[in-house]
C-alpha cells in the first residue's frame, strides 16, 4: 500500500483518475485498499467488503498480510466478517461508505460485472481441484454470449434422446470440447461445432459455465486469475445424427453413471435462470 490511514482520515476521490487521496500537512497520499462498514448480513454475521483501487495484486498482498483466507475472495473484493473490521482499518484499510467503495472499484477498472439472467446452481468453496482457497461456481445462463474469460468450450449434442460424448485421453468420457487459446470463444465454438457436426455454424444455445475464482494461483495452475470460465453449449440434432457423428451415444441413465462427477454436470438438469 502507498499510505496508511486510520479512522480519523478524511478521504476524497478524484473520479477522473479513480484515485483516493488523504490530505494532510500540505500533501496528498494515495490510498490503495478500501473497506466499507460491516452492514451486509450473511451466515448469521455482518460483513464488510475489502477492495483495491489500484490492482488485485495489491489487494491480495494486503489480504495475505492481514491473514484473510483466500476463500473470502469474490472476484473483485474480499468479504470480511465484522470482527475483523477494526484490525483491517488499523492495518491501513481506508474506511468509506458502500457507495463510495463501489464507485472507486468501478473507476479502477477492477469491477466484475454480474450478468443478468444467470444464477449459481452449485458452489464449491475450497474446491479440491483448485489452488488453496479457490471456489468453483456452476452458473446457469440465458445470455447469448459466453462469459469473459472463457478458456474452454464444450457442446452437449443430443439426438434420439441420447447424449454424444467422446473419450478424453486419461480422463474418461467427456462432452466434445476445445480450448479457446488465443482466439475468441465464438471462434473456438465454431471450430468445435464444425469438427463435431460438420456444419460451419449450426445453432447452439448457451447452457452455462463453470467459473473458477482463484485469488492466489499455485505454481502450475494453467488458467487466468482471478477468474476462468469453462462454458457449455447445447444443441439438438435430428435422428440421423446418431448414425453419422463419431463418438459414443449415452442414454440418460448411462450419462448419469459416466458423467455425474464432471464439474459441469449440474448444467444438464437445471431449468432456465
Confidence of residue 42 (pLDDT cuts 50, 70, 90): confident
Residue 220's Cβ-count burial label (10 Å; 0-12, 13-18, 19+) is exposed
Q: Residue range 170-192: average pLDDT?
A: 93
Q: Are residues 15 and 100 in the same domain?
A: yes
Q: Are residues 151 and 249 in the same domain?
A: yes
Q: Residue 11 pLDDT more than 80?
A: no
Q: Residue 187 pLDDT more than 50?
A: yes
Tell me if the pTM is above 0.85.
Answer: no
196 is a domain residue:
yes
273 is a domain residue:
no
**Final residue belonging to a domain, choices 108, 133, 149:** 108
Q: What is the pLDDT of residues 262-272, one digit of tens each?
A: 999 999 976 55
113 is a domain residue:
no
Specify the pLDDT at position 229: 97
Q: Which helix (H) or strand (E) holds 88?
A: helix 85-90
Percent of the chain with pLDDT over 90: 53
Domain count, the chain: 2
Q: Residue 4 pLDDT more than 70?
A: no
What domain range is 100 assigned to? 11-108
Q: What is the pLDDT of residues 115-134, one digit of tens each?
A: 888 888 898 988 999 999 89
Q: Are residues 89 and 166 in the same domain?
A: no
**Final residue belonging to a domain, choices 108, 127, 151:** 108
Q: Are residues 80 and 187 in the same domain?
A: no
Q: Are residues 87 and 153 in the same domain?
A: no
218 is a domain residue:
yes
146 is a domain residue:
yes
Q: Are residues 125 and 54 in the same domain?
A: no
CA distance 33 to 50: 7
Flag the least confident range among 4-18, 108-122, 142-156, 258-272: 4-18
Q: The domain that contains 183 carries what CATH number?
A: 3.90.79.10
User: For the chain, what is the mean pLDDT?
Assistant: 84
Quickly count: other Cβ atoms within 10 Å of residue 264's Cβ. 22
Q: Residue 226 pLDDT more than 80?
A: yes
CA distance 85 to 87: 6
Q: Residue 89 pLDDT more than 80?
A: yes
Q: What is the pLDDT of residues 22-40, one digit of tens each?
A: 443 322 334 589 999 999 9
Locate 240 and state its grid cell. Answer: 440421423
Confidence of residue 241 (pLDDT cuts 50, 70, 90): low
CA distance 126 to 52: 23
6 is a domain residue:
no
Amino acid at each position: 500500500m502507498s499510505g496508511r490511514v486510520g479512522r480519523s482520515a478524511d478521504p476524497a476521490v478524484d473520479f477522473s483518475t479513480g484515485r483516493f487521496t488523504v490530505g494532510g500537512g500540505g500533501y496528498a497520499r494515495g490510498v490503495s485498499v478500501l473497506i466499507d462498514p460491516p452492514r451486509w448480513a450473511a451466515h448469521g454475521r455482518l460483513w464488510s467488503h475489502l477492495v483495491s483501487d489500484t490492482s488485485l495484486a495489491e489487494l491480495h498482498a494486503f489480504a495475505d498480510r492481514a491473514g484473510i483466507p483466500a476463500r473470502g475472495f469474490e472476484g473483485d473484493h474480499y468479504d470480511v466478517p465484522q470482527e475483523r473490521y477494526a484490525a483491517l482499518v488499523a492495518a491501513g484499510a481506508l474506511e468509506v461508505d458502500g457507495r463510495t467503495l463501489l464507485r472507486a472499484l468501478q473507476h479502477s477498472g477492477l469491477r466484475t460485472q454480474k450478468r443478468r439472467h444467470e444464477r449459481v446452481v452449485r458452489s464449491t468453496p475450497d474446491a479440491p481441484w483448485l489452488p488453496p482457497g479457490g471456489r468453483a461456481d456452476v452458473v446457469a445462463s440465458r445470455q447469448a454470449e459466453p462469459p469473459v474469460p472463457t478458456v474452454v468450450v464444450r457442446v452437449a449434442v443430443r439426438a434420439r434422446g441420447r447424449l454424444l460424448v467422446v473419450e478424453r485421453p486419461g480422463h474418461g468420457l467427456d462432452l466434445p470440447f476445445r480450448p479457446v487459446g488465443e482466439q475468441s470463444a465464438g471462434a473456438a465454438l465454431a471450430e468445435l461445432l464444425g469438427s463435431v457436426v460438420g456444419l460451419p455454424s449450426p445453432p447452439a444455445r448457451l447452457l452455462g459455465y463453470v467459473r473458477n475464482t482463484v485469488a492466489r494461483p499455485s505454481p502450475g495452475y494453467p488458467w487466468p486469475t482471478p477468474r476462468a470460465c469453462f462454458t457449455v453449449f447445447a444443441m439438438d440434432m435430428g435422428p440421423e445424427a446418431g448414425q453419422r457423428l463419431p463418438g459414443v451415444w449415452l442414454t440418460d441413465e448411462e450419462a448419469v453413471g459416466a458423467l455425474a462427477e464432471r464439474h459441469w454436470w449440474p448444467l444438464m438438469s437445471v431449468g432456465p435462470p
